[in-house]
Structure 1
Amino acid sequence: MNITGTHIAYLHTCHRKLWLFANGIQMEHTSQIVAEGKLISETTYLDRARKYTELELDGIKIDYYDAKNKVIHEVKKTDKLEQAHFAQVKYYLYVLLKNGIHEASAILEYPKMKQKEIVEWEEGDKEKVENWISESSEIIHKDNCPPLLKKTICKKCSYFDFCYAGENDINDE
């Protein structure tokens, strides 16, 4: 199985979500929050599709890639999962580097917050990303789904109903 940016983001969000997603249980299509994020991405930067290309490479799909300046543009709804967003674009930069595209960078864009974060490849990132790949693969290939960890973030997750079926309450972090 090819590891994707989504796998890396889920590694930093929830191991259970990573395992479920990678093992064919995908709930994003049922989430109003995911739909809202997609709508923000599609309607905020209307000239993106004309200016930038979509890039599919080694199992990743970058929606907006500025090939001339070697910049990935990743649009996110909020910065609530910022660590997962950084990891996802670091993984994209890793894949680009492995394919001979050097000195690329990324911009995480949060249009609702009117904020941007520049993400650049740094010394030590190769080892970090390779560890994430290894850890993701290990979780994905486990025989059993990781246990439910009750977190505040769960309430807005597309897997909430799946994970909490039969649960009486959710404890806050």
Structure 2
Amino acid sequence: MLSDSEKNLRIIGTQIHYYFICKTKLWLFSHHIQMEQESDLVSLGKLLHEKSYKEEKEYTIDNLISIDFIKKQGCLELHEVKKSRKMKKSHEYQLLYYMYYLKQKKGIENIKGVINYPKIRKKITIDLDESKEKELMDVIADIGNILDMDTPKPQRMKICRKCAYFEFCWV
């Protein structure tokens, strides 16, 4: 039997990302209704990563977190590549989750996160501090609550038009 903290660390980074974008998308994805593989925007993001960082290797850890690339520069530096800064908060918390996971499950303390936006040639550095850890634990608990619910009712947002789940929610 898994403890609550172990259950909480069975969440994947995509779920953290979707939590900040759309609760319905989070629920659908988490219940194996996955439509992203047919999305042109997702394909474009993967292509951008491959072109911009072709020398870098992606790392998947415990089939839960998938880090775009890692550098060792005095500390462990986790890098995430994103297409645009529009969903900055979801990007930050996804990377914070990776850092939190490595700290809790692998005992790695000296970690820094970097979000790379190659199209605009920007990098944002993320640090996992105590307050971010607490916020992240609240997010993880809330994700558990959402996943235990019946399908959440979609809420129309600007981003719905470009979402891979648009037809599922609105047609």
**What is the TM-score normalised by the length of structure 1?**
0.88
**Post-superposition shift, 1:58?**
6.7
Give 1:114's aligned residue.
121
C-alpha RMSD of the superposition: 1.5
Aligned runs of 1:1-173 on 2, under 5 Å?
2-49=10-57, 54-57=59-62, 59-67=64-72, 69-98=75-104, 99-142=106-149, 144-165=150-171
2:51 is aligned with what amino acid?
A: T
Partner SS for 1:124: helix
**Distance in 1, Cα, partners of 2:120 & 2:72:** 26
Q: How many residues align?
A: 161
* Alignment check: 8 A CA contact 1:78 1:112 kept: yes
Partner SS for 2:37: helix
* Alignment check: 8 A CA contact 1:103 1:121 kept: no
**Distance in 2, Cα, partners of 1:64 & 1:137:** 28
Please state which structure has a larger fraction of its residues in helix. Answer: 2
Give 2:4's aligned residue.
none
**Post-superposition shift, 1:123?**
2.5
Paired-residue identity, %: 34
**Distance in 1, Cα, partners of 2:21 & 2:44:** 19
* Alignment check: 8 A CA contact 2:68 2:81 kept: no
**Post-superposition shift, 1:160?**
1.2
Gaps spanning 5+ residues in structure 1: where? 166-173
**Distance in 2, Cα, partners of 1:132 & 1:25:** 22
**Post-superposition shift, 1:63?**
2.7
Gaps spanning 5+ residues in structure 2: where? 1-6
Partner SS for 1:47: coil
Partner SS for 2:130: coil
* Alignment check: 8 A CA contact 1:8 1:88 kept: yes
Write out per-residue CA displacement over residues 69-118 of structure 1, whole angstroms, 9 at most, x where no aligned residue: 30001000101110100010010110011121112011101111111111
